[in-house]
Amino acid sequence: MKQTPDANFWRELNGNRVYMTKQQYRTIKGQAVKGNILDARKGLKKIMMRRNIK
């Protein structure tokens, strides 16, 4: 079964949830729910870079 980019993003977001504050998680999730997956992915990447993860 082929994974959509959206499904991959949600898997990535939930996998990195432990490294984010509650507010960061809610912000990124809100962007993605509204359909702004590219911006949400950019924000997630920025948070992970700041935390020196990946």
Here the tokens at position 17 are 């949830």
> Which portions of the chain are predicted below pLDDT 70?
1-3, 54
Q: For the chain, how many helices (H) and strands (E)? A: 3, 0
Position 33 scores a pLDDT of: 93
> How many distinct structural domains can be found in the chain?
1
Cα–Cα distances in angstroms (integers) from residue 54 to residues 33, 34, 48, 49, in the given order: 24, 26, 7, 7
User: Model-level pTM?
Assistant: 0.84
Position 5 scores a pLDDT of: 74
Query: Rounded distance, CA 34 to CA 29, Å?
Result: 9
Query: Rounded distance, CA 49 to CA 38, Å?
Result: 17
Structural domain including 12 reads 5-50
Position 54 scores a pLDDT of: 62
Position 2 scores a pLDDT of: 65
Position 4 scores a pLDDT of: 74
